[in-house]
């Protein structure tokens, strides 16, 4: 599988605490890569390395490399804002902007493109259709986004992220705050979107990983224990710790 991101010899400390150790992972292009493991094992920290959100913590010290399009995004003159545009983050809980539904999606478009009013409306509709939200909100576009259900808000945040044309969708337990129907909708949408985007998703829910993953990175205590295609890792895990986790012996 062709990698879109290659992580080499990555170590991350926060103050005197070692959070990530010796991470070597290739993230395949146009696949759903699931970073799996129990709570507190470093999954989210690793995910946030991919768009340099860990930079916001002044105590973070990071070594190694993360190669995207031949460029090490950890040691580059590239604008961090551009890195984050290419790799947008969908958080555990949705955070719609304090404005109406239309402007939530239009926000990113206004920053990155000079569009006419007609073009703006077309693009907003296109993004809302892409996340299967248009039919639910087309008559409510001027309402505050906060009036939407949590599941609708999460899809709105996804539409907002897609509006700036990322290459990679980073999803940090994006269904943990959602009801089962909304969770299923997000999973279904990810499976559709992987034809256009590469998706990296953090979860500690084994059932979800089995449903959605093409490629799996299993972590424990800040290290990558095993990685491979979903079929390889779930059907024939090589490491004893992976085997134990898949049997439920490591509790979340």
pLDDT at res. 199 = 98
The stretch 69-93 carries a mean pLDDT of: 89
pLDDT value of residue 250: 60
Q: Which helix (H) or strand (E) holds 129?
A: helix 117-130
pLDDT digits (tens, 9 = 90+) for 127-141: 999 999 999 999 999
Across 2-9, average pLDDT: 96
DSSP sequence for 37-68: -STTSSHHHHHHHTTTGGGGSTTEEEEEEEEE
Task: List the domains of the chain with CATH numbers.
Answer: 3-246 (3.40.50.300)
Strands, DSSP E only, in the chain?
3-14, 17-28, 32-36, 60-68, 71-72, 87-90, 168-172, 198-203, 215-220, 223-229
- Which tens digits make up the pLDDT trace of 116-125? 889 999 999 9
d(CA 57, CA 39): 20
Asked if residue 28 lies in contact with residue 232, where contact means CB atoms within 8 angstroms, the answer is no
Confidence band, pLDDT 50/70/90 cuts, at residue 112: low
Q: 197-217: per-residue pLDDT in tens? A: 999 999 988 999 999 999 999
* C-alpha–C-alpha distance, residues 218 and 8, integer Å: 16
**The pTM is what?**
0.92
User: Phi, psi at residue 18, to the nearest 5°?
Assistant: -85, 120
- pLDDT tens digit sequence for 158-169: 999 999 889 999
Q: Which pLDDT band, with edges at 50, 70 and 90, does 15 fall under?
A: very high
Q: How far is CA 206 from the centre of its chain?
A: 17
Give the phi and the psi of residue 80 in degrees, each rounded to 5: -60, -30
């Amino acid at each position: 599988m062709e990698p879109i991101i290659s992580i080499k010899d990555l170590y991350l400390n926060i103050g005197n605490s070692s959070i990530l150790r010796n991470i070597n992972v290739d993230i395949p292009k146009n696949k759903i890569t699931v970073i799996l493991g129990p709570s507190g094992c470093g999954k989210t920290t690793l995910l946030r390395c991919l768009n340099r959100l860990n930079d916001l913590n002044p105590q973070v010290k990071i070594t190694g490399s993360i190669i995207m399009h031949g460029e090490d995004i950890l040691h580059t003159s590239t604008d961090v804002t551009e890195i984050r545009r290419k790799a947008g983050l969908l958080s555990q809980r949705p955070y719609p902007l304090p404005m109406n539904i239309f402007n939530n999606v239009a926000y990113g478009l206004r920053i990155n493109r000079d569009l006419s009013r007609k073009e703006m409306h077309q693009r907003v509709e296109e993004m809302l259709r892409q996340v299967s939200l248009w039919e639910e909100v087309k008559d409510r576009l001027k309402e505050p986004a906060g009036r939407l259900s949590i599941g609708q808000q999460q899809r709105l945040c996804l539409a907002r992220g897609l509006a700036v044309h990322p290459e990679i969708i980073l999803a940090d337990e994006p269904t943990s705050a959602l009801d089962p129907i909304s969770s299923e909708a997000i999973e279904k949408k990810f499976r559709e979107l992987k034809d256009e985007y590469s998706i990296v998703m953090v979860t500690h829910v084994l059932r979800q990983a089995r449903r959605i993953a093409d490629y799996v990175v299993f972590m424990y205590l800040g290290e990558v224990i095993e990685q491979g295609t979903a079929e390889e890792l779930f059907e024939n895990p090589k490491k004893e710790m992976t085997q134990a986790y898949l049997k439920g012996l490591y509790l979340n």
